[in-house]
Amino acid sequence: MQTHDIRERFTQHFVRAGHTPVPSASLILDDPTLLFVNAGMVPFKPYFLGQQTPPFESGTATSIQKCVRTLDIEEVGVTTRHNTFFQMAGNFSFGQYFKEGAITHAWTLLTNSVDDGGLGLEPERLWVTVYLDDDEAADIWENKIGVPAERIQRMGMEDNYWSMGIPGPCGPCSEIYYDRGPEYGAEGGPAADDNRYMEIWNLVFMEFERGPGDKKGNFDLVGELPQKNIDTGLGIERVACILQGVDNVYETDLLRPVIDAAEAVTGAQYGQGQEADVRFRVIADHSRTGMMLILDGVTPSNEGRGYILRRLLRRIIRSARLLGAQGATLERLMNSIMDSMTPSFPEIADNRERIVRVAVAEERAFLKTLESGTELFDRVASGAKESGTTLVDGSRAFELHDTYGFPIDLTLEMAREAGLEVDMDAFNAEMEAQRARAKADNKAKKHGHVDESIYRGWVDEHPTEFFGYTDLTGESTVIGLVAGGESVTSVQAGEQVEVILDATPMYAESGGQMGDRGRLVAGDTIVEIEDVQKVGKRVSLHKGTVVSGGLELGNKVTAEVDHAWRHGARQAHSATHLIHAALRQVLGPTAVQAGSLNRPGYLRFDFNYTDQLTEAQLAEIAAITNEAVDNDWAVNTTETSLEKARAMGAMALFGENYGDNVRVVEIGGPFSMELCGGTHVSSSAQIGPVAVLGESSVGSGARRIEAYSGLDAFRFYSKEAALVSGVASSLKAKSDEIPDRIAALTERLKAAEKEISQLRQAQLTNRTAELVGNAEQIGSFELVAVTLDGVGAKDLRSLASDIRGRMNDRKAVIVLVGKDGSKVPFVVAATHQAVSEGVKSGDLVGTFGSYVGGRGGGKPDMAQGSGSDAAGIDTGIAAVRDTLASL
């Protein structure tokens, strides 16, 4: 049975049982505690935490949620059951059915025949576990379902009790296992061998609320939940493994084609050895996860989600290289996994080109990193051999891994080829320290979870009506006041407050458009509103300060939007739509929005694209945008169903979860049509001029355009015109002659700088004989140590090489220090005879650098560095003297 069929059977089974089908959320949610969605229940978390009431009429739901877990990336492929990306199928009950219902639903789907819509698993091969004291679940399994008592095992807190790791809902679990047969391990059920007995479904019975605790099980139960909930998770990939009769998830219909593609590009064969097989599995797993992350808008970078994606893609490249691949591989691997996954995720088809482009750009960058990393490793290896050791410093290996992105496996491979070993104890100590820092940061984020339960009553019963599309002033009633994190009945002058109104003309921040500013007025009471935010996607929080009078629950107020603020915000937001459309005309349909910010007069627009835009492309984008403004197109809005909006050709953004009814904003017919809930001008001419300021990189595969709109664009152009006029006056040239005049001046300046550099170098060279003659004797060594004002690192190195050449038949050490502005560059060189007597320039650079607030490195005969504290120069040179005297 194909994986896509398993998905369909699961969904239909629960739809027939009355559950509301819920599409998978994006892997990226607005949750400060998570990098990615890592469990099927995550999108339902507000309902389980009691912050919002579930919107499902049946009180039940079912979903197949895409998930990513990356805590143990290094373990991927070592075991054959764990994946970084997986599909978690689940059914959820919010106060409806409980243990018996969840158990019955799961059993019937697993054991019903294929003809009856089930999965057709043999009942006698299924085992279950329950929590230690959960007699109720054990009784249901034995006496209601008919599972023999000997196939029901009781497990402890670690295995069969669930919580989110923070105060909130918790409860016992019941897990379902499939016996794969004696060839996979010992008899005795999951307690004896969880390789033979594969876990396929976890049923969580949420019935308690837990208190704080620092680890699993180390917490108190503070009471029962107001209603008992069900959260289950069935592993689609594991079930596919069983139903397709393969040994592991890497041999299912989704991942085996990627391994086949990897065989083709590497020349190696899967199944020929454990080490190679692990690399094939890494390629397959990471190709799928990387593709799905790119699909949901992640681009490679050096932090957060982008860092995880970069790490995954680079592990693919590294694994392919170790298997024998010589050139680029990601394009073929990505196409293979997209072929496998598209039946379940049709949106992949519209994004193939973009996904491949992002992956290939990262591959090109990493192949360059491998080249530079190889050079760095060669220096490290040479240093180890010169010092007479066969051990590569683990901290240097970690620096290669962490700073330069050079994989430790590749370092180990190259060390073996060079006859060296890596100090893995030191490397692992550095890795553990890094993990501890990450864990502490993650823990801090978890405990920083924002508690929105205080707003639940309003979210459930009193969603804010927004009438600001048509009116900027209107009468409203105060239905909520929150001050200091608590609900209050009144506030007085000077207090900061969050005001909840039954209706408002003020736009709450969403879709990149900043919240409105304005005021609430009631008699002599004035509340200045500085920001409007949404909670639960239904209630607007008007954040402001009471500047006069006082405000009480039930007060009638006049809500007034700051007209100038709204006008500028509408201009910028509509200009964003025009720039998006212009981008797609110039760059093609794969230039997809990845984020935006609109505030009065200013916009920034992030989009997925791998290459830097040319000046000509930027000029064309600006021209198309301003032509659209000049066309004075009407801006039309339509409310319709999501399905009809997509049929109309309206663009939707990845990572956004839209409701059944959406708002389409159309400018110029087919020119621009997007799903958008923001506020806009009524015609494109009202935007005014749009000044494109430029574009920049915001990470690998992501670019950003910034622009001004309306009066801000006019002011920008006016300043630019004044600047050009001033430059023209200074150069005594016409404005159109400025580029040529500046180019000529630049060439003259370069020539003058070159001449000055040559003169400076000649002066320094002329001093070589003087410096050699003034060398001081330190024990058996001669030392040339001098400070040179206004000399940079390049000239210092050249001079040091010249002096060393003149003293090559002596045991000489040269220490040259420059003063170049606020920087203190320094170079240490040593002759061959000095090196043979134990002098290491790299060590002396480290000694000197510690006195001038700097660091450096290099080879025994030449090293350099830079510092920032010139006051320590004399002390640093004295320390070098002492070191030489001790040799």
Give the residue ranges of the annotated binding site for Zn(2+): 573, 577, 676, 680
> In the Cβ-directed half-sphere of 232, how many Cα atoms lie within 13 Å?
32
Among 130, 225, 216, smallest CA distance to 173 is for: 130
> How many residues are present in the chain?
887
Cα dihedral angle (712, 717, 718, 722), rounded to 10 degrees?
Answer: 140
Cα 484 to the center of its chain, rounded Å: 32
What is the DSSP secondary-structure string of 633-690? Answer: -BEEEEEEEHHHHHHHT-B--TT----SEEEEEEETGGGEEEE--S---SBGGGG--E
What is the DSSP secondary-structure string of 828-874? Answer: EEE-HHHHHTT--HHHHHHHHHTTTT-EEEEETTEEEEEES-GGGHH
Cα dihedral angle (468, 473, 479, 484), rounded to 10 degrees?
Answer: 90
Could you tell me which residues are beta bridge partners of residue 835?
Answer: none
Angle 394-402/352-386 helices, nearest 10 degrees?
160
Radius of gyration of the chain (CA): 34
User: Quick one: DSSP state of residue 218?
Assistant: -
Question: What is the residue type of 190?
Answer: P
Structure tokens at 242: 């069983």
The rounded distance, in Å, linking the Cα atoms of 507 and 679 is 8
Please count the helices (runs of H) and the strands (runs of E) in the chain. Answer: 25, 35
The rounded distance, in Å, linking the Cα atoms of 413 and 155 is 43
Burial class (CB in 10 A: 0-12, 13-18, 19+), 367: middle
The rounded distance, in Å, linking the Cα atoms of 771 and 816 is 11
Contact of 500 with 458, CB cutoff 8 Å: yes
The torsion angles phi and psi of 487, rounded to 5 degrees, stand at: -75, 130
β-strand pairing of 776-778 with 635-641: unpaired
Among 324, 348, 328, smallest CA distance to 338 is for: 348
Q: Which contacts qualify for 852-857: CB closer than 8 Å, 24 or more apart?
A: 852/817, 852/824, 852/826, 852/876, 853/824, 854/824, 854/826, 856/826
CB atoms near residue 729 (< 10 Å): 10
β-strand pairing of 391-392 with 421-422: parallel
Among 508, 533, 510, 511, smallest CA distance to 450 is for: 533
Contact of 662 with 675, CB cutoff 8 Å: yes
The rounded distance, in Å, linking the Cα atoms of 820 and 15 is 73
User: In 56-167, which ranges are E strands?
Assistant: 60-68, 85-94, 126-131, 152-155, 161-163
Per-residue CA distances from 323 to 268, 367, 431, 470, 684 (Å): 6, 15, 25, 63, 56
Per-residue CA distances from 293 to 259, 317, 373, 673, 731 (Å): 20, 17, 27, 26, 53
The rounded distance, in Å, linking the Cα atoms of 252 and 178 is 17
Structure tokens at 481: 């006041």
Among 168, 167, 160, smallest CA distance to 47 is for: 168
